[in-house]
């Protein structure tokens, strides 16, 4: 009964807006996580590449 009253009290547009806002927040958080992981992965690759390049240069110079 209380749930029915709650849904009668709040307009459906508000519920829809809250649902939309929540889904948007979830999507945003997921996107941030994915980009964070990709950035870390790229940084690791770049660091490894730089180390390989340095060792190659040292090998050439010596």
What is the band of 5 on the pLDDT scale with cuts at 50, 70, 90?
Answer: low
- Judged against a pLDDT cut of 80, whether residue 24 lies above it is answered with yes
List Cα–Cα distances, 19 to 12, 23, 25, 47, in angstroms.
11, 6, 10, 42
Q: Which residue has the higher pLDDT, 28 or 11?
A: 28
DSSP 4-51: HHHHHHS-HHHHHHHHHHHHHHHHHHHHHHHHHHHHHHHHHHHHHHHH
- Judged against a pLDDT cut of 60, whether residue 2 lies above it is answered with no
The tally of domains found in the chain comes to: 1
pLDDT tens readout for residues 25-59: 888 999 999 999 999 988 888 877 777 666 666 66
Return the SS3 of 19: helix
Confidence at residue 33, expressed as pLDDT on a 0 to 100 scale: 92
Tokens 């889904």 sit at which residue?
23
**Domain membership of residue 46 as a residue range:** 2-61
Which structure tokens are listed for 7? 């849904």
């Amino acid at each position: 009964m209380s749930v029915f009253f709650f849904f009668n009290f709040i307009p459906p547009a508000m519920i829809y807006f809250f649902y939309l806002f929540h889904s948007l927040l979830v999507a945003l958080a997921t996107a941030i996580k994915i980009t964070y992981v990709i950035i870390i992965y790229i940084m690791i690759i770049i660091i490894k590449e730089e180390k390989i390049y340095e060792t190659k240069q040292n090998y050439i110079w010596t």
